[in-house]
Amino acid sequence: MTSSVLYASTGPEEVGQAVSLENLPSLISAKKARIGVVGLGYVGLPLAVELAKAGFSVSGIDKDCRKVAGINSGRSHVLDVSSDDVGQLVSSGKLQATSNYDAVAELDVVFICVPTPHDAAKAPDLTYVQAASEEIASRLRAGQLIVLESTTYPGTTEEVMLPLLQASGLTPGVDFAVAFSPERVDPGNTRFDTRTTPKVVGGLTQRCSELTKLVFEQILGEGASVHVVSSPRAAEMTKLLENCFRSVNIALVNEMALLCDRMGINIWEVIDAAATKPFGYMPFYPGPGVGGHCIPVDPYYLSWKARQYDFYTKFIELAAEINLSMPFYVVQKVAEALNSRDKSVRDSRILVLGAAFKKDVNDARNSPSIRVMELLLREGARLEYNDPYIPEVTVGLGIFSRRSQEIQLRSVVLDDAAVRHADCVVFTVPHSAYDVDWVLEHADLVVDTVNATKHANGHHQKVVLI
């Protein structure tokens, strides 16, 4: 099935196509270059919208026909992008979406923003990058710029994507340009977005870097700039350093939380105190684990690649191990809390608040909350969950055995009955929509993994912090 959006065959003069790389800079500067974004998720759609706002004609390409239909109807499926913006851009003709890769033939610049997950053995899964590259290669022409934005290990652009593009018979760096520019999207962040976050660019050649830099300069706002590095590999490593930095520091504070619990010290109080130091310290916070598209995945991309060089990233892998252990610790705290009320996890009614991987986002990929649910179900809990952004989740019941079994859970209404009937309410995501005081008023027992109840207002006796 393909989108109903069709692309008429027109000449280069009519659509402003670059017939060689020499023509491309003037088209970009004049906003006449036609730009495509492959993958219209939390990275691709914000990028497509900002490019269209800057005045470019933008074609989004995605195999998900529901996303395509929604965008062409003026609806956004990404919380960080308003439907009003999408609707106005579609109505003006600056933005359109399709599931047909034939659009590539008429584009001057193509951004690839597809997922890069890992498989069950934590090895990189580049299926989406390879599929997109093959589709583009079969339609590649002279004068085009191809930019990979998907987070991946150093070498992907040159070792995986480039050979596929070269199958077109065109010469990279001469006939067409190739670069890597890591996405730096932080879903739910209202301060830094696609327009206000500096970009890193690493091109196959200096010309490739300059062309990519020129495109980003058309959309970045005041204070955001483009930093050019020497190669795609350096740009790819930059993103992994950024996320491994976060993973390691989250693991550090998670381990401190475990120690503070054993010593009877409130880790949240300690973090607040340490954060008063104006230099040499940056606060990170413990939680039920790490989730999303990058932090749980990127360390394994790096460690997998490092082994090809007989190098073992022990420190980084240890951090990932600590973060992966946190859902088990949360279940242990739930069990201890219930034991204090002469109850066990088995047959207890447990209400989990939050299924997204972080606050105020509609993305549950690699969510530690879901792992907590799986562990509680394995222990025999009668489990329900609520999340205003995630209406349904799939949880695996056979995750620690060869027998795989999955069930669907639907978000329950967060009302009086749901909270009062729960033997334990577990905060795993501090969504802004949650009225914490109301939950505390009606709940009998609360396990708080994210310090949502920091202003408990006299209900401390029923709250257990991780």
Active site residues: 294
DSSP characters for 213-278? HHHHHTT--TT--EEE-SSHHHHHHHHHHHHHHHHHHHHHHHHHHHHHHHHT--HHHHHHHHTT-S
Q: Which helix (H) or strand (E) holds 201?
A: strand 199-203
Q: At 133, which helix (H) or strand (E)?
A: helix 127-137
User: Residue 289 and residue 257: Cα distance in Å, rounded?
Assistant: 12
First-residue to last-residue Cα distance in the chain: 48
Return the number of other C-beta atoms located less than 10 Å from residue 115's C-beta. 18
Q: 344-368 as b/e, with b when 16 or more CB fall inside 10 Å? A: ebeebebbbbbbbbbbbbbbbbbbb
Residue pair 23/143 in contact (Cβ under 8 Å)? The answer is yes
Give the amino acid at 216.
F
Q: Please list, in sequence order, all residues whose beta carbon lies within 8 angstroms of the beta carbon of residue 307, skipping any fewer than 6 positions away.
A: none
- On whether the CB atoms of residues 150 and 328 are closer than 8 A, the answer is no
Q: Which two structure tokens, joined as six digits, stand for 327?
A: 């859902």
CA distance 125 to 120: 10
**Structure token pair of residue 295:** 């932090």
- Report the alpha-carbon distance of residue 160 to residue 166 in Å, rounded: 11
Which tokens in the block code for residue 158?
Answer: 């040159």
Residue position matching structure tokens 């998720």 = 41
Which residue has 């993958």 as its token pair? 39
In whole angstroms, give the CA distance from residue 84 to residue 378: 44
